[in-house]
A and B are shown apart, each in its own frame.
Chain A
Amino acid sequence: MGTVYISTDDTFIGKTDERLRVRAQKETLLDVPLIKVDGVVILGRATVSPAALIELLERKIPLSFMTGTGRFLGRLEPELNKNIFVRSAQWQAAGETDRSIHAVQGFIRGKLKNYRSTLLRAQREGIDGLEAGITRLEQATNPINQTSIIDALRGLEWAGSAAYFGHFGRLIRNGDFSFKTRCRRPPTDPVNALLSFGYALLGHDVQGAINIVGFDPYLGYLHTQRYGRPSLALDLMEEFRPLVVDAMVLSAINRKALTPSDFADEPVSHAVSLTDEGRRKFLRLYEQKKQSKFKHPVMGRQCTYQEAFEIQARLLAKYLMSETEQYPPLVLR
């Protein structure tokens, strides 16, 4: 199963028999069976035929639209889940309630613990100078369970992230790239550009999982309500950031899968973005990462990261509906 990324402009997406067919300038670019497709992402402009549209909806394959540079525009989602009980439990937990505090503690604990294990692994692999960061991360992680004010938890998250990104540059073992601080909107160096693009892709995948489970993606607990911001997706994404995106960006750079020639920058804003060729490489790596398997510590079985998004969303739903005592964030060693 794989995702179809369409980055050629002015393509026509049609359906023949039970296949998805992508054509541009009277040439067939791609012809894949629909049984092998689990998502379609359009980067740039494309026409989708009515027959293909209906088929995608019936097979519950989500269709996302993005600009050529990877900004999310919108998404055609198969029918919203009918499970009203999940949504009402989600709304009942809104604000500073016991449940929302516990969930926020889980999100932050998951994120910071994964940050810590990233640094610890790097230390084992022989990078020095990380002790200060690891100590500061531990100092931020320890008080999480005793803290029951969401704003204070946000402060701990900030402190932990600052400690992590303060040392992130040391994890890069490729002379062509460097990292000083995290900067975004726009990212002005290649590493930040990769992180931003990766987080954007991760956001969509997590939002997709949340929709499948039946949550309202706009009501979050760690992230407050803001017009048009899928707060719950951002909440649930926290624990996956280091596991999926950071790990993949680091390995892409350290293994020299991406080179400086895969990037282009804009003269006025200094915004750095990937070239067409670089974007293809990056998407392939991201997809491979998503399909890679590991043993889920709670479920006790093999699963891919793609499945883990949905598993975590379901665990959260179970907690909010009082079917379980705790929400266990995904923490990997």
Chain B
Amino acid sequence: MHVVITYDISEDKRRTKIHKILSSYGQWMQFSVFECSLTATQYTKLRNRLNKLIKAEEDSIRLYFLCECCQPKVERIGGEAVRDETVFFA
């Protein structure tokens, strides 16, 4: 499944932690916006990790799901390019 995750976190320290967790599951697109393509297991794991960290009364996280047919219709102007995941070089 393809998920767009946005967040608003009041505290700097907690925001950095959220950022680090999310970078393990997807790609950082803009400030407070991630795009992740996950399996159901990976999604559950991610949500568990976020749940443990978040303070629901101060912070907010939004997860928007994109269906298969909407995914290729995403238009991106400028900014971060989508990572090529067929092969990685270093």
Q: Which residues of A contact B (CB under 8 A)?
A: 1-8, 11, 16-19, 22, 24, 29-37, 280, 283-284, 287-288, 291
Contacts and interface: CB of A to CB of B under 8 A. Distances in A.
B52 to A, nearest CB: 14
Contact of A17 (B23, B85, B87, B90): B23
Contacts of A22: 90
Contact of B21 (A11, A17, A284): A17
Contacts of A284: 86-87, 89
Interface of B: 20-21, 23-26, 38, 42, 83-90
Given A1-B85, A2-B85, A36-B85, A19 B24 contact: yes
A34 B26 CA distance: 10
B86 A8 contact: no
A138 B25 CA distance: 51
B41 to A, nearest CB: 10
Contacts, number: 62
**A-B pairs with the 8 shortest C-beta distances?**
A18-B24, A287-B87, A30-B90, A29-B90, A22-B90, A4-B88, A6-B90, A17-B24
Contacts of A4: 87-90
A22 B23 CA distance: 15
A6 B89 CA distance: 6
Given A2-B87, A11-B90, 17 more contacts: A2-B84, A4-B88, A5-B89, A7-B89, A8-B90, A17-B23, A18-B25, A24-B90, A29-B90, A30-B90, A32-B88, A35-B25, A283-B89, A284-B87, A287-B87, A288-B86, A288-B87
A14 B37 CA distance: 23
A22 B89 CA distance: 10
Nearest to B41: A35
A11 B89 CA distance: 12
A220 B83 CA distance: 40
A7 B87 CA distance: 13
Contacts of B89: 4-7, 30, 280, 283-284
Contacts of A16: 20
Nearest to B38: A35
